[in-house]
Structure 1
Amino acid sequence: MKTESAGDQHLDHLFSSSAARMDRWRDLNAAAQAWAAGGRGGDSRGSGAPVREALAIVRPMESYFAYPGGRLLRLLDERIADDDARGAGRLILRISNALLSGSYRYEEGAWEDGEDDAADVPDRIPPGLRAEAARRPYFETLFVTPAPAARTAAMAGEIRELRRRDDNMIYEPVMVGNFEDALLAAVLNGKLEAVVIYDGIPVPSDQDVPLLREFLNVYQDLDTRNTAPRDVGLKLAQVIKGIRPELDIYLLTDRRVEELAGNPDAAMVRRVFYEVEEPMEVHLNVLEGVADRYATPYFDNLKRYATRPISTFHALPIARGKSIIKSNWIRDFGEFYGLNLFLAETSATTGGLDSMLEPTGNIKVAQEKFARAVGADHVFFVTNGTSTSNKMVYQAVTKPGDIVIVDRNCHKSHHYGMVLSGAQPLYVEAFPMTEYSMYGAVPLRTIKKALLDLKAEGRLDRVAMITLTNCTFDGHIYNTRRVMEECLAIKPDLIFLWDEAWFGFARWSPFLRPRTAMGAAQALQRWRDDPAALQAWEAQAQEFGEDLRPDDDRLLDRRLVPDPRAMRIRVYETDSVHKSMSSLRQGSIVAVRDEDYDHHVSAFREAVFIHASTSPNAQIIGSLDIARRQMELEGYELVMRAIEVALAIRREIARHPLISKYFSVLGADKMVPEEFRPSGFVDYLEPGANWMTAARALLEDEFCLDPTRLTLVCGTAGYDGTAFKNLLASKYNIQLNKTSRNSVLLQSNINNTRSDVALLIKVLLEIAEDIDGRLKAEGEAGQAAFAGKVRNLMEDVPNLPNFSRFHDGYREDPGSVTLEGNMRAAFFAAYDEAECEYLPLRSPSMDERLANGPALVSANFVIPYPPGFPIMVPGQIIDADTIEFMRKLDVKEIHGYNAARGLKLIKPDAIEEGGLAM
């Protein structure tokens, strides 16, 4: 990532504006305090140059934030002009402290000109103001007006005068005067919740924004060059909605508002006002729009329920907490969690609490709000994890005999989902990263070939769905729109299930959102409605014919276009809300954007009945409601900070001479083969790289990396992934999830801060120093042993096995070139222990069977952790590559494998007798 020099004032912090802004204020504060300290010992005149230079860097970005505002900045200018080092230092310290702590949002003194020492200390806030702050959340509203600059300060004052004691929130205006500055404010200022646009605004900014203009050129639908001056305001509304869809947008015009309000292009505008109307209406609408996002119908009612005097005669003894608080033996349970947890527990669905199985009240409204937030038609809450969300989708949209094209490396819930529904998996393989003992993602060419092979054999009609993991555990993100576009060109009614368990936060990043299932589905819908879509399909039809021939190899390497008249948009997205948002564990959703959903609505309801608990946890439901509220109101800023944290980790590891000697974070060049990166993007830290380079990769490449997921190679430090994970947890209190043979996965999320980065870097440095010290002390012998260990971890790695095939006894057409199989039949065949056998992994019998037969057929799923996906599934023929991989595994946790007995196999004669009959 390109770093900013002291004299670089370009406002191009498209991802890292929060950290960049605070860093600038930190530098300004350091210069001011040095100036003030020098002034105490004598004449400080003329020594304020560093402060002036630092302030010149700070100032351009400040025009896009309400605080500290023009008045305090003018006061600062006056003190600097008067060479008042002490006064300037005190004011800068007060402002920077207020920005760092956020106290300006609830402390009136932070906005004042006074010299009260209490204002310098954010903790010295009267209790009354703290209480008032809790009642009146603070946000900022962008006003985009063509009024002269001399008039905007007065306009801001008039807006502030509209405040009333009855307002349940308080906002500060941010005033800008043109299209580009408005766009910059939306990008840079995460505190914005609403935008008010006056007609007649100009386009260009006075700021130096080369990357912003390149951004507009890359995303052609954001280009303003062909926009009539009269329509610039409406175009700005469209652009801002494309970047931050959660913002409420209001348009003020002197045109015929009735006609504009009925314009389909104005659909993203919450309300259109006639410009000369009462400003109070605009003010009230701004507050109402934010209040609508703030409202959490289920959680709000749960809080009210907890305050009611209720006697319970249902089967939930902990409800109301009396059995706990009055106990002599488990009172500490209540003291630990607090009484509210138990007051809010109930088995009832009356009293406004609603039913998860048949929601008609506040759960229904909460789900509708979540659907709006993620761009879906429907959202369903799930309180037992995304494993259940996935199974629900399979149960609802597939049936026995359907074929599902699925990534073999997907989460086990998908495999079990097909066992339950009877759908037959056709496994497709991801590209391997053998050096790091992990898989990437499935190339589009592989998926297209599977579809075309099925078409050639006359079974395309049986393909119901394509299932892919986006993003993968290791951070590989698909080009979701292109995958769906090209697959729909071959079969226009395909259903897509995108498992985005780890990617739910991406909705709130303008760069990552297009790669989400819901974002891509929305883009496909817009493309289909454009007359150019039909023209593109007709041009393709002239070259390849209207019905694509499956034996035409050119189709595999050409970008295919679906027929917009025939294609259906049928997209399901499952999100583990608890993995990337502020939800309790097991909080998940199913997001639906399916034009034919009504055909499945009864089946989906049945799937909910099958899989959902009849006693769902009320606290998890409440946390899903709260998670949506937070992300709609501050998700953009939180996700931006999570990316900043990840970049800081990458940067500090790469540039530290000792840490980088033993550890490294893999870039795209190591994680994504070059053939899938036409943009040429290498890494965020590559010399000369900037966010526009990354944006092009996110727009164009077949696969890109989630910037918040970092694969830290520890094998070069002599640690396997499991040992390093255990070391971090046991000695340094650092927890993480995933490991591989020679790496661990670090994730930044909305919970992390730069303090976490500092701790991690400190720990890595301590470990690196320990390694360095030991190697010096142990001499050549120790160094040779260390080199051998590194070589074993980094070079002597097992080959990664691909899926072999299903046994012919579990295939309808053993002669077919496609490899789908009846996994359900094999799964239930293994229930009869008499029809199964066990074979030790390292026995001579195993090698004999591999060499001479009969075939080894897996009786169940075998799932090592890591890598965490099935390397054997029921009915699969186990080949020598898979056995070699199992023998080289050095992990302790392998689900489905009993080391004492060996691999569980279906006996050959049982397959001949049973097979597909089951």
Structure 2
Amino acid sequence: MGVELTMPDLGNLCEQRQPLECRVALVSNDRDLSSSWVSALNATAAQHENPYGLRFESVATSALEKCLREEDQLQALIIDGGCNPDELKAAEQLADRMHALRAQLNVFLVAQDSFLNDQGGAPASVRKRFDELFDRRECNFNHMFRLVQAFIARRASTPFADTLKEYVFSARDAWHTPGHSGGDSLRNSPWVGDFYRFMGEHVFNTDLSVSVQVLDSLLEPHSVIQEAQDLAAQAFGAEQTFFLTNGTSTANKVVIQQILGGGGKIIVDQACHKSVHHAIVMNRVEPVYLKSTLHPQFGIYGPVCRADIELALDDHPDAGLLVITSCTYDGLRYDLKPIIDYAHERGVKVLIDEAWYAHGYFHTELRPTALECGADYVTQSTHKMLSAFSQASMIHVQDPDFDEFRFRENLNMYASTSPQYSMIASLDVARKQMVMEGYGRLRHCAQMVATLRREVDATGVFRALTLDDLVPVALAQDNIRLDPTKVTIDVSGSGYSGKEIQVKLFDQFGIQVEKTTYNTVTVLVTLGSTESKLLRLVHALKQLARQPRKRSHECSTRQLPEFTHLNCLPADAYFSETEELPLMDNGVAAEKKLVGRTSADEIVPYPPGIPVLVPGQEISAQIVQFLQQLLQGQNATEIHGLIFRSDEPMLRVMQQTGKASPENKVSNAGNRSKK
């Protein structure tokens, strides 16, 4: 049964499938105060409108950590600061420990006016840690109840999503873009009416335009979008947050242009997302590429060695930006704080691509996040692991030198002037879900991960890889961690390749996995994972484990060829006069023509999606042979960046105009490590 609520001052709650329940813990070792306050507050809650289902309970200080870890419905704490300065200090320390466990909860302090400072206000340390203060002699429990409820209501509000819904339900006539006019152009069409019925009414009537001023402007927000962004900044621990409706690819480009627009030097993982490589070309940036580590047994590329990052920072003091991907597609994440601190000591800004880790801040075991470790900019694909629509992303900022005006201009250069409003609403709602129930949802995910790993290993054929399995030897001392929501399964024992298992799971059991290598498949355990889906996946793997085959030959990973060097800036190569040379051409003949030439394009085998060539890079014999091998045989690899002429693969290279003089060459990151 749904509970319909009409309380606009409390966030315009949507209908719920079940009544809400919010627990508020009063943390005190004073049993008399605790008992009397809890009784009075629960009596007050029973007498007032209580749409969030606030229920107050007493928790001893010694039991607080257990409560924080196990109580999913906990939404707020009231901490007793006692009657003297030492007890107040202990309350502040308790609030800090609470924040380390559940940063999203509202926290209130019970204190006495004797703790006010000389100016009659609360000390800054108190105001920083607590949402509101209550006097221990307080008797107005009505006021206290309303304050606690108001703070929870603010956190649970979705200002943009609510405004969008209200506008749609007001049923205004549309004489503006988009042309389908709320779906009216399709609804009664004999040709495309089926598409309208398939997609549903609200897909179309929420597709509006900047003409609807009440919905604010994504490019210049002042009202409900700005409110939603402010709530997101608070939720994710940022100073400022910006919404994007064209993905983290755009987010990365905006940040790189903000720091290095017009040129400069960037230190970046060679295995970074292709959007970073694109930004390097678009902004005429000079890259210093860092070599990713390879796990040879599974063909999985991991983080860069910390020593290599530090060495690059030492060797390139003129670098303006360090870009790191954490976590990787396979769930490997850096120990970021020492790396970020090392960069900041040298005056280098840090961008962390957290596209796959937007959920990290909402569970104790997944922290610290990049923002907590001091990153200046963090980009997140809110759609990858959370509940936002595809392409919905955020940029989080805490750069002390942040130029907001210039940032908005850079953002406007990439963002559409016709954003998808339902996508913005999904960002608002995804944020709400995480601050209100993210901890509990992720705890449930962890339980499913444990079950999945146990059942996979129990097959005796498949094996769920652990952190020790996935971390290459070169990273053994780097304190690399694993995001448990990415479960990589070794399928070697089945006699099938990762791709073959992927096809069998899809064709025979209706299951689609996230990615494969030649001997692994990876599944994501997200907020949308259910026990029924888990049951079906385990059943499928057990069935497949009963039908192993003897592998006719052992596959081995093809390690990416060594990065050669850059002959010029990537932008110079990409925009230069070029010619196309055949890649195959009887093998040896193609190699003779290509070796020593400069690539004009980014050439990316997929998977794993790591460039073999970037614009401006010199082509080696090893690279040519590697690409030829990928294109041969029945299981040819998909390669992005090649040009096909009459089905013949071609590489675009710079026209030869004489060897580049040394002064025209750019710096290159060596493949050295600190000794």
Which position in structure 2 is the counterpart of 1:895?
640
Q: Answer yes or no: is the 8 Å Cα contact 2:22–2:75 preserved in 1.
A: yes
Q: Does 1:245 align with 2:103?
A: yes
- State the shift of 1:674 in Å: 5.0
More strand by share: 2
Choose which of 338, 351, 359 in structure 2 pairs with 1:505.
Answer: 359
Which position in structure 2 is the counterpart of 1:217?
none
Q: Answer yes or no: is the 8 Å Cα contact 2:358–2:380 preserved in 1.
A: yes
Which position in structure 2 is the counterpart of 1:668?
467
- State the shift of 1:913 in Å: 8.5
Q: Does 1:141 align with 2:24?
A: yes
- State the shift of 1:643 in Å: 2.0
Which position in structure 1 is the counterpart of 2:267?
405
- State the shift of 1:513 in Å: 2.2
SS in 2 for 1:746: strand
Which position in structure 2 is the counterpart of 1:486?
342
- State the shift of 1:230 in Å: 4.8
- State the shift of 1:406 in Å: 0.4
Choose which of 167, 170, 174 in structure 1 pairs with 2:53.
Answer: 170
Task: Pick closer, same or farther for the CA change 1:424–1:171 going to 2, 3 Å.
Answer: same
Q: Does 1:496 align with 2:295?
A: no
Task: Pick closer, same or farther for the CA change 1:345–1:824 going to 2, 3 Å.
Answer: same
Q: Does 1:270 align with 2:17?
A: no
Instruction: Give the AA of the match of 1:641.
Output: H
Choose which of 568, 571, 576 in structure 2 pairs with 1:824.
Answer: 571
Instruction: Give the AA of the match of 1:646.
Output: V
Task: Pick closer, same or farther for the CA change 1:896–1:263 going to 2, 3 Å.
Answer: closer
Task: Pick closer, same or farther for the CA change 1:907–1:466 going to 2, 3 Å.
Answer: closer
Instruction: Give the AA of the match of 2:552.
Output: G
Which position in structure 2 is the counterpart of 1:45?
none
Q: C-alpha separation between the residues in 2 aligned to 1:131 and 1:273?
A: 31
Q: C-alpha separation between the residues in 2 aligned to 1:483 and 1:622?
A: 35
SS in 2 for 1:451: helix
Q: Answer yes or no: is the 8 Å Cα contact 1:647–1:707 preserved in 2.
A: no
Task: Pick closer, same or farther for the CA change 1:602–1:131 going to 2, 3 Å.
Answer: closer
Task: Pick closer, same or farther for the CA change 1:608–1:723 going to 2, 3 Å.
Answer: same
Task: Pick closer, same or farther for the CA change 1:869–1:332 going to 2, 3 Å.
Answer: same
Task: Pick closer, same or farther for the CA change 1:893–1:132 going to 2, 3 Å.
Answer: closer
Task: Pick closer, same or farther for the CA change 1:716–1:604 going to 2, 3 Å.
Answer: same
- State the shift of 1:327 in Å: 2.2
Choose which of 692, 702, 715 in structure 1 pairs with 2:492.
Answer: 715
Q: C-alpha separation between the residues in 1 aligned to 2:585 and 2:442?
A: 46
Task: Pick closer, same or farther for the CA change 1:574–1:274 going to 2, 3 Å.
Answer: same
Which position in structure 2 is the counterpart of 1:753?
530
* Identity percentage of aligned residues: 29
Which position in structure 2 is the counterpart of 1:805?
565
Q: Answer yes or no: is the 8 Å Cα contact 1:257–1:273 preserved in 2.
A: no
Which position in structure 2 is the counterpart of 1:469?
325
Higher gyration radius (CA)? 1
Q: How does 1:166-315 map to 2 (within 5 A)?
A: 166-177=49-60, 179-200=61-82, 228-259=86-117, 261-277=122-138, 278-315=140-177
- State the shift of 1:265 in Å: 4.5
Which position in structure 2 is the counterpart of 1:209?
none
Which position in structure 1 is the counterpart of 2:616?
875
Q: C-alpha separation between the residues in 1 aligned to 2:468 and 2:113?
A: 53
SS in 2 for 1:503: coil
Q: Does 1:580 align with 2:379?
A: no
- State the shift of 1:640 in Å: 1.8
Task: Pick closer, same or farther for the CA change 1:797–1:234 going to 2, 3 Å.
Answer: closer
- State the shift of 1:442 in Å: 0.5
- State the shift of 1:802 in Å: 2.9
Q: How does 1:775-814 map to 2 (within 5 A)?
A: 786-789=550-553, 792-793=554-555, 796-807=556-567, 810=568
Which position in structure 2 is the counterpart of 1:609?
412
SS in 2 for 1:716: helix
SS in 1 for 2:181: coil
- State the shift of 1:453 in Å: 2.1
Task: Pick closer, same or farther for the CA change 1:585–1:668 going to 2, 3 Å.
Answer: same
Which position in structure 1 is the counterpart of 2:373?
520
Instruction: Give the AA of the match of 2:112.
Output: D
What per-residue deviation string (whole Å, max 9, x for no partner) do you get for residues 29-61 of structure 1?
xxxxxxxxxxxxxxxxxxxxxxxxxxxxxxxxx
Q: C-alpha separation between the residues in 2 aligned to 1:155 and 1:271?
A: 16
More helix by share: 1
Structure 1 gaps of 5+ residues are 1-102, 107-129, 203-226, 455-459, 522-569, 679-700, 776-785, 811-821
- State the shift of 1:247 in Å: 0.5
Q: How does 1:341-356 map to 2 (within 5 A)?
A: 341-356=203-218
What per-residue deviation string (whole Å, max 9, x for no partner) do you get for residues 263-285 of structure 1?
42541101111112112222111
- State the shift of 1:912 in Å: 4.6
What per-residue deviation string (whole Å, max 9, x for no partner) do you get for residues 594-639 of structure 1?
00002xx333222212110111000000000000110011111112
Instruction: Give the AA of the match of 2:230.
Output: E
Task: Pick closer, same or farther for the CA change 1:709–1:254 going to 2, 3 Å.
Answer: same
Instruction: Give the AA of the match of 1:580.
Output: M
Task: Pick closer, same or farther for the CA change 1:590–1:133 going to 2, 3 Å.
Answer: closer
Which position in structure 2 is the counterpart of 1:531?
none
Which position in structure 2 is the counterpart of 1:323?
185
Q: C-alpha separation between the residues in 2 aligned to 1:386 and 1:451?
A: 25
Q: Does 1:336 align with 2:192?
A: no
What per-residue deviation string (whole Å, max 9, x for no partner) do you get for residues 666-693 of structure 1?
2122211456445xxxxxxxxxxxxxxx
Q: Answer yes or no: is the 8 Å Cα contact 1:319–1:344 preserved in 2.
A: no
Instruction: Give the AA of the match of 1:337.
Output: M
SS in 2 for 1:597: coil
Q: Answer yes or no: is the 8 Å Cα contact 1:665–1:711 preserved in 2.
A: yes
Instruction: Give the AA of the match of 1:285.
Output: L
Q: Answer yes or no: is the 8 Å Cα contact 1:571–1:594 preserved in 2.
A: yes
Q: Report how many residues are paired.
A: 646
Instruction: Give the AA of the match of 1:644.
Output: Q
Task: Pick closer, same or farther for the CA change 1:234–1:797 going to 2, 3 Å.
Answer: closer
Task: Pick closer, same or farther for the CA change 1:751–1:842 going to 2, 3 Å.
Answer: farther
Task: Pick closer, same or farther for the CA change 1:297–1:445 going to 2, 3 Å.
Answer: same
Q: C-alpha separation between the residues in 2 aligned to 1:418 and 1:131?
A: 44
Task: Pick closer, same or farther for the CA change 1:132–1:466 going to 2, 3 Å.
Answer: closer
What per-residue deviation string (whole Å, max 9, x for no partner) do you get for residues 743-767 of structure 1?
1112111111233222211111100
Which position in structure 2 is the counterpart of 1:866?
607
Q: C-alpha separation between the residues in 2 aligned to 1:916 and 1:137?
A: 65
- State the shift of 1:363 in Å: 0.6
- State the shift of 1:863 in Å: 1.2
SS in 2 for 1:442: coil
TM-score, normalized by length of structure 2?
A: 0.90
Instruction: Give the AA of the match of 2:465.
Output: L
Task: Pick closer, same or farther for the CA change 1:826–1:705 going to 2, 3 Å.
Answer: same
- State the shift of 1:571 in Å: 0.9
Q: C-alpha separation between the residues in 2 aligned to 1:479 and 1:705?
A: 11
Instruction: Give the AA of the match of 1:375.
Output: G
- State the shift of 1:372 in Å: 0.8
Task: Pick closer, same or farther for the CA change 1:326–1:863 going to 2, 3 Å.
Answer: same
Q: C-alpha separation between the residues in 1 aligned to 2:190 and 2:16?
A: 40
- State the shift of 1:238 in Å: 1.7
Q: Answer yes or no: is the 8 Å Cα contact 1:397–1:604 preserved in 2.
A: no
Q: Answer yes or no: is the 8 Å Cα contact 2:109–2:130 preserved in 1.
A: yes
Task: Pick closer, same or farther for the CA change 1:230–1:574 going to 2, 3 Å.
Answer: closer
Q: C-alpha separation between the residues in 2 aligned to 1:741 and 1:787?
A: 13
Q: C-alpha separation between the residues in 1 aligned to 2:469 and 2:19?
A: 49
What per-residue deviation string (whole Å, max 9, x for no partner) do you get for residues 71-101 of structure 1?
xxxxxxxxxxxxxxxxxxxxxxxxxxxxxxx
